[in-house]
Amino acid sequence: MSEFVSAGRLERVMKAGHLGVTSECGPPRGTDPEEVRKKGMLIKDYVDAINVTDNQTAMTRMSSLAACVHLKLLGIEPVLQMVTRDRNRVALQSDILGAASFDIPNMLCLSGDHQSFGDCAQGQNVHDLDSMQLVQTVRHMRDEGKFLGGDDIKRPPKIFVGAAANPFADPFEIRVPRLAKKIACGAEFIQTQCIYNIDKFKEWMRRAVDRGLHEKAFIMAGMTPMKSVGMAKYMKKKVPGMDVPDEIIARLSGVEKGKQAQEGIDICVEHIQQLKEVTGVAGFHIMAIEWEEKVPEIVERSGLYPRPEI
Amino acid sequence: MIIAEKKPIEEIIEEVRNFDRILILGCNECVTVCEAGGKKEVEVLASALRMYFITQGKEKIISEHTIERQCDHEYLEEIRKDIDNYDAIVSLACGVGVQFAAEKYLTMPLLPGVNTICLGANEDRGLWTERCQACGSCVLARTGGICPVSRCAKRVLNGPCGGSTNGKCELGPDIDCAWQLILDRLKALGRMDDYEKVAPIKDWSTDRAGGPRTVTREDVNI
Amino acid sequence: MRLKIPTNFRIVRLPCTGKIDIIHILRAFEKGADGLYVVGCMEGDCHFNQGNYRARKRVEQAAKILDQVGVGGERVKMYNLSSGEGPLFAQYSIEMVNKIKEMGPSPVRLAKQKMAKQKKVTAA
């Protein structure tokens, strides 16, 4: 964790010892870049970098790479999310080169939701590599300066590479070994699935710290504010790998409909305040899907604004 | 074995509509075991087709025959002497048999009567499930005998993914999470330490991606 | 028991309804039968354990096929009774025959008759 591997701010903020803050933006289901720019402008002063999702839930959207370029051209630092579902190793390496040609400094490697969840359920999937092997690939291209095939890369990419972790998926006992594996493959930062079960997350974190994993990678806690009790119930029942405790649902239903959104934001802020105190938490990844306008409030009230000068 | 499923009869009716003399050709191996294309299924299909066409005012000749298997020259040769009695053959063999028969009888329309589904096992009476994708480079020793290529919907080689829930795949509660199975197995074998070994990037060139595959044994070909 | 039952059906005796295969049902209709019913032991009382369960599934399958080819799945049905229930057998027989009468002759039989007539005409 010494010299910088990318030209990005996210890496520098966390290596300087500050809590990193990232958020997320989903590209539009169309060709208008203005939608991407608008979301970016809303939150750019409140975060160190913005993740751009890659055909999330397998719904076809503007490509993550293109949207990242739009952000970069506005002076906003993106995190390129790349799933292994849709591209083989030729295309994956190619897109990494494309991203690096625009000096996009961060990447998050994921498997991706199965295509049957999206709008092309009849399509093929690729999974030539899995998410861990993709992390290895980025590191190989960056540190060895070589393609998977062995040839040299002209002007190797300088990318700070991350992976996702889900402390709430089954089986729980291998979630930390899995985190260890991703870090062993070369992941330098981790963004977790959104956290509602603070106790379970603390247990996961404790095990990770036990193994010293927090010193090998920056672990960022994922946070998503609930908009309504309906959303909470949906996430509890219908989203695989999501853990929403009943207390959250109770708290939200105890409030009249018009005030639930604010309650959801309050819960999110409280959780961030709690997690700031937990050893090993290196930052927060705030995913306010289609609710980006609330990110400034969350960051401010959590005491994470203004972003540090580095 | 190869698992296949009967095609809907409506589809077969369309396939044979314009032919007058049809042979329904069954296979005594895999499709018999998965009850899709053996002697019994041949009889039932032939009878059903006869009744359909009679009620349409068309009396077609629909014959029945089942051979040992349709993927070997010697068995397919058995029907050569009668082949001129037919205008078309509906083969209830798997895709392999249909094609092999078509290659042998170049001028005879060969129509498939089943949909070939997968390589699998007979888990229970009436239940056949996929086990192998014929990737050409077997990793079962590393994964405790459970295949992540055929049983994981995303063929994750370093699993499980974040969607695994209660031992089931994110696709649904009736699909086991292959990686949960692998972990259970590694635990039972006392090999949990193997879990953190990173499986390397796979060579898919032996898979279908590398092109149609061939196996040769020079030593048995005199 | 000297009960009144219709006379226009043939009884085919089997050691157990489990002996029936789908093809037996289909062949009967292929030969022109208008209806077919399978009479087996009460469920749970099969002398050979599960024969009547197998029969039920096969009857269902055959009915499906008969529907698909336009003959009519309603023409085949399974009944369960114990061997001592003579009056019930009579009742089921009457029920079945009446249903088939209502449905009319099997399309296969009609088609075969029509074909036979046409052949006679061309021959003459």
- Predicted confidence (pLDDT) per residue in A140-160, tens digit: 999 999 999 999 999 999 999
pLDDT of residue A169: 86
| Closest residue in chain B to residue C30, using alpha carbons only | B51
Residues B109 and B201 in one domain: no
Given a cut of 50, the residues of chain A with pLDDT beneath it are 1
Q: Identify the chains in contact with C, defined as 3+ C-beta pairs within 8 A.
A: B
Whether B70 is covered by a domain: the verdict is: yes
Taking an 8 Å cut-off on Cβ atoms, the answer to whether B157 and A133 are in contact is yes
Q: What percent of chain A has pLDDT over 70?
A: 99
Q: What CATH number does residue A31 fall under?
A: 3.20.20.220
Taking an 8 Å cut-off on Cβ atoms, the answer to whether C68 and B50 are in contact is no
Taking an 8 Å cut-off on Cβ atoms, the answer to whether C21 and B10 are in contact is no
pLDDT of residue C122: 79
| Average pLDDT along chain C, 124 residues, taken 10 residues at a time | 77 93 96 94 89 95 96 95 88 92 95 89 76
Q: Among residues A166, A222, A86, which one has the least CA distance to residue B164?
A: A166
| Nearest beta carbon to residue A169 from set B163, B171, B199 | B163
Identify the domain boundary among B57, B89, B118: B118
On whether the CB atoms of residues B168 and B153 are closer than 8 A, the answer is: no
Residues 6 or more apart whose CB falls under 8 angstroms from that of A130 comprise: A84, A111, B154, B155, B156, B157, B158, B159
Q: Which pair of structure tokens corresponds to residue A76?
A: 């906003």
Identify the domain boundary among B118, B141, B159: B118
- To test the contact with chain B by mutation, choose from C69, C113, C115, C119 the residue with the greatest count of B C-beta atoms within 10 A, namely C69
Taking an 8 Å cut-off on Cβ atoms, the answer to whether B55 and C69 are in contact is yes
Residues B111 and B145 in one domain: no
Residues B34 and B104 in one domain: yes
Q: Which helix (H) or strand (E) holds B119?
A: strand B114-124
Q: Between A and B, how many residue pairs show a Cβ–Cβ distance under 8 A?
A: 91
Residues B24 and B71 in one domain: yes
Residues B89 and B10 in one domain: yes
Q: Identify the chains in contact with B, defined as 3+ C-beta pairs within 8 A.
A: A, C
Residue type, B38: G
| Nearest beta carbon to residue B165 from set A164, A193, A241 | A241
Taking an 8 Å cut-off on Cβ atoms, the answer to whether B163 and A193 are in contact is no
Whether A255 is covered by a domain: the verdict is: no
Residues of C near B (Cβ–Cβ under 8 Å) read 21-23, 26-27, 29-30, 65-66, 68-71, 107-108, 110-112, 114-115
The yes-or-no reply on C/A contact (3 CB pairs or more, < 8 Å) is: no
| Nearest beta carbon to residue A241 from set B163, B196, B201 | B163
Q: Which pair of structure tokens corresponds to residue A199?
A: 């106790």
CB atoms within 10 A of CB C34: 22
Taking an 8 Å cut-off on Cβ atoms, the answer to whether A136 and B198 are in contact is yes
Whether A74 is covered by a domain: the verdict is: yes
Q: Among residues B26, B98, B18, which one has the least CA distance to residue B60?
A: B18
Q: Which pair of structure tokens corresponds to residue A53?
A: 């999702």
Q: How far is B126 from chain A (nearest CA, A)?
A: 26
* C6 CA to centre of own chain: 14
pLDDT of residue C124: 65
Q: Number of folded domains in chain A?
A: 1
Q: How far is B111 from chain C (nearest CA, A)?
A: 19
| Nearest beta carbon to residue C21 from set B10, B40, B51 | B40
Enumerate the residues of chain B whose CB falls inside 8 A of the CB of residue C71. 51, 55
The yes-or-no reply on B/C contact (3 CB pairs or more, < 8 Å) is: yes
- To test the contact with chain B by mutation, choose from A178, A194, A236 the residue with the greatest count of B C-beta atoms within 10 A, namely A178
Taking an 8 Å cut-off on Cβ atoms, the answer to whether A185 and B198 are in contact is yes
Taking an 8 Å cut-off on Cβ atoms, the answer to whether B153 and A185 are in contact is no
Taking an 8 Å cut-off on Cβ atoms, the answer to whether B51 and C30 are in contact is yes
Taking an 8 Å cut-off on Cβ atoms, the answer to whether A133 and B171 are in contact is no
Whether A85 is covered by a domain: the verdict is: yes
Residues B141 and B199 in one domain: yes
| Nearest beta carbon to residue B162 from set A137, A166, A185 | A166
| Closest residue in chain B to residue A130, using alpha carbons only | B156
Residues B21 and B108 in one domain: yes
> Which chain B residues in 57-76 lie under 8 Å from chain C, judged by CB atoms?
57, 59
The residue to which tokens 């092999």 are assigned: B100
| Nearest beta carbon to residue A125 from set B154, B167, B202 | B154
Residues B80 and B181 in one domain: no
Whether A235 is covered by a domain: the verdict is: no
In this structure, the dihedral spanned by the alpha carbons of residues C10, C11, C12 and C17, taken in order and rounded to 10 degrees, is 130
Q: How far is B42 from chain C (nearest CA, A)?
A: 10
Residues C45 and C41: their CA atoms lie apart, in Å, by 6
Residues B109 and B205 in one domain: no
Enumerate the residues of chain B whose CB falls inside 8 A of the CB of residue C28. none
Sort strands A218-223 and A281-286 into parallel, antiparallel or unpaired: parallel
Whether A177 is covered by a domain: the verdict is: yes
B61-82 CB burial, b ≥16 within 10 A, e <16: ebebebbebbbeeebbeebeee
Identify the domain boundary among B87, B118, B149: B118
Residues 6 or more apart whose CB falls under 8 angstroms from that of A122 comprise: none
Q: Number of folded domains in chain B?
A: 2
Q: What is the pTM of this model?
A: 0.91
Taking an 8 Å cut-off on Cβ atoms, the answer to whether B47 and C27 are in contact is yes
Q: Which pair of structure tokens corresponds to residue A305?
A: 């604004």
Range of the domain at B182: 133-210
On whether the CB atoms of residues A180 and A211 are closer than 8 A, the answer is: yes
Q: Among residues C111, A289, A274, which one has the least CA distance to residue B54?
A: C111
Residues of B near A (Cβ–Cβ under 8 Å) read 153-167, 170-171, 177, 180, 183, 195-196, 198-202, 204
For B107: left if phi > 0, alpha if psi spans -120 to 50, otherwise beta; the answer is alpha
Residues B13 and B113 in one domain: yes
Given a cut of 50, the residues of chain B with pLDDT beneath it are none
Q: Could you give phi then psi for residue C81, rounded to 5 degrees?
A: -155, 170
Q: Between B and C, how many residue pairs show a Cβ–Cβ distance under 8 A?
A: 48
pLDDT of residue A1: 44
Whether A41 is covered by a domain: the verdict is: yes
Range of the domain at A13: 9-226+269-301
Enumerate the residues of chain B whose CB falls inside 8 A of the CB of residue A169. 160-165
DSSP structure class, residue C41: P
Is the minimum CB–CB distance between B51 and chain C shorter than 8 Å? yes
Whether B125 is covered by a domain: the verdict is: no
Peptide bond into B160 cis (omega under 30): yes
The yes-or-no reply on A/B contact (3 CB pairs or more, < 8 Å) is: yes
* A76 CA to centre of own chain: 16
Q: What CATH number does residue B106 fall under?
A: 3.40.50.2300
pLDDT of residue A2: 53
Taking an 8 Å cut-off on Cβ atoms, the answer to whether C108 and B51 are in contact is yes
Taking an 8 Å cut-off on Cβ atoms, the answer to whether B47 and C111 are in contact is no
Is the minimum CB–CB distance between B211 and chain C shorter than 8 Å? no
Residues B77 and B164 in one domain: no
